[in-house]
């Protein structure tokens, strides 16, 4: 037994570091603990078998299983919610999608809602006016226009009076293109950054004095595309990556003021232009007309068309039920201690688990299979492969012919 004393202490130290590191990462990312704990339990058994010391693996499994169950019970325990009555919430991008659905639901719950739209005479604005109470105020705001943002601040302050603003929900956002980075126009990158990043930054900075005064909350709808490299979404993903970093930084800076910052990461839902086929076909035609001829020849029009069709197919499969995201926003608004990050929708937690814990090559392959299952290579690569195949076949034929001629010569001799 004395021979095993020192290795067992090393083993316990290593195991403690591994389990502690896993637990810390779970707590930081707010992933569901079950798949992570299962993985670490498997590692524990493997290490136990390989290290061949006297600590029984069963004891370790029981201990970690108990910790897992305890942690899951604490997380799933129903927590008390704050009352909604009397709380004012400012929401951007309420013409459609998450913003429109959230504004209606918050109005039902008793919030005082300030909902911004791009078009006061549009269908979404009319629906809000018709279906919501007089607690809801519609404001026409383009978040990329500083004058409109400042005007919205003045109107909000005038209506609130001495009552503070409880929360800002940054929902407005756009995805103005799809396709390979080389094929994306610079205007597409600027368009995404202007709305998703600079517009959101502008509205947040403008309303921060109200939020600091009330020790309120900032809730931002972002995207997993800001953390993971989805193919053909570089312009959109880059703007969301900047957004994620911005609000993760703000979380630290605003903590002394009592302002809590949360980011919501939804899965795929039918919102905005995502399922509008006519809009994306128009974008596709514009891309074909503006691309340099050399690029179009290298990639091929059929390659671009396949990308568009795959994007449409993915959008058609998106979830039309927006309630998981709406309910997550409500949770972030009313829970006494909101989380830094929320995953809203099926599969997002699994996606982040694969991204966080599996090798990079596997996570990249998973994203390629999950998002766009492209089968057609660019035209230049197809022609190159075809040329190499022809050269290979010609060389084989020449070698066979040479061999046949030599055999004939040998017979003749």
pLDDT at 413 over 50: no
CATH 3.40.50.300 fits 88-370, yes or no: no
Helix (H) / strand (E) containing 22: helix 5-29
Cβ partners under 8 Å of residue 99, min gap 6:
91, 92, 93, 115, 116, 169, 171, 172
- Residues of the chain with pLDDT > 90: what percent? 44
| Burial category of 324 from C-beta neighbours within 10 Å (exposed 0-12, middle 13-18, buried 19 and up) | middle
* Active-site residue (options: 11, 236, 269, 299): 236
pLDDT of residue 128: 95
Integer Cα distance of 229 and 180 in angstroms:
12
**For the chain, domain boundaries:** 2-76, 88-370
Taking the C-alpha atoms of residue 258 and residue 254, their distance in angstroms, rounded to an integer, is 7
**Residue 275 pairs with which residues in a beta bridge?**
none
Measure the CA angle with vertex 102, ends 98 and 108; round to 5°: 155
Beta carbons within 10 angstroms of residue 140's beta carbon: 15
Q: Label residue 126 by pLDDT band (50, 70, 90).
A: very high
Q: Model confidence over 68-93: pLDDT tens digits?
A: 666 555 554 556 889 999 899 999 99
| Known catalytic residue at 342 | no
Contact 86, 62 (CB under 8 A): no
Q: What is the DSSP code string of 23-60? A: HHHHHHHT--HHHHHHHHHHHHHHHHHHH--SS-HHHH
Tokens representing 68?
Answer: 């897992």
pLDDT digit string, tens, across residues 259-287:
999 999 998 888 776 666 777 788 788 88
**Best CA proximity match to 26, nearest among 16, 37, 17:** 37
């Amino acid at each position: 037994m004395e021979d095993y004393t020192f290795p067992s202490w090393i083993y316990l130290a290593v195991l403690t570091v591994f389990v502690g590191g896993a637990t810390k990462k779970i707590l930081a990312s707010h992933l569901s603990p079950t798949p992570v704990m299962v993985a670490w339990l498997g590692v524990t058994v493997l290490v136990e078998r390989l290290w061949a010391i006297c600590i029984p693996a069963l004891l370790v499994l029981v201990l970690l299983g108990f910790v897992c169950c305890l942690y899951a019970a604490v997380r799933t325990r129903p927590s008390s919610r704050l009352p909604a009555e009397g709380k004012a919430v400012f929401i951007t991008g309420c013409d459609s999608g998450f913003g429109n659905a959230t504004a209606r639901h918050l109005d039902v719950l008793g919030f005082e809602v300030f909902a911004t739209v791009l078009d006061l005479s549009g269908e979404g604005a009319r629906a809000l006016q018709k279906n919501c109470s007089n607690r809801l105020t519609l404001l026409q705001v383009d978040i990329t226009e500083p004058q409109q943002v400042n005007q919205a601040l003045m109107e909000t302050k005038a209506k609130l009076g001495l009552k503070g603003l409880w929360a800002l929900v940054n929902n407005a956002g756009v995805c103005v293109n799809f396709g390979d980075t080389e094929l994306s126009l610079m205007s597409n990158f600027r368009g995404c950054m202007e709305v998703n990043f600079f517009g959101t930054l502008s509205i947040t900075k403008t309303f921060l004095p109200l939020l600091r005064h009330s020790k309120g909350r900032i809730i931002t709808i972002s995207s997993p595309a800001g953390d993971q490299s989805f193919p053909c979404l570089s312009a959109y993903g880059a703007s969301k990556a900047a957004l994620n970093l911005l609000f993760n930084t703000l979380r630290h800076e605003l903590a002394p003021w009592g302002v809590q910052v949360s980011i919501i990461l939804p899965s795929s839902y039918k919102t905005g232009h995502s399922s509008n086929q006519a809009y994306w076909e128009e974008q596709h035609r514009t891309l074909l007309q503006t691309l340099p001829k050399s690029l179009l020849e290298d990639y091929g029009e059929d390659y671009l068309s396949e990308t568009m069709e795959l994007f449409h197919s993915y959008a058609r499969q998106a979830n039309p039920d927006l309630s998981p995201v709406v309910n997550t926003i409500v949770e972030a608004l009313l829970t006494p201690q909101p989380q830094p990050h929320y995953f809203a929708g099926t599969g997002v937690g699994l996606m982040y688990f694969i991204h966080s814990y599996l090798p990079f090559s596997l996570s990249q392959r998973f994203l390629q299979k999950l998002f766009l299952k492209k089968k057609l290579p660019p035209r230049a690569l197809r022609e190159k492969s075809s040329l190499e195949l022809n050269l290979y076949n010609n060389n084989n034929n020449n070698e066979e012919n040479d061999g046949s001629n030599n055999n004939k010569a040998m017979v003749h001799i």
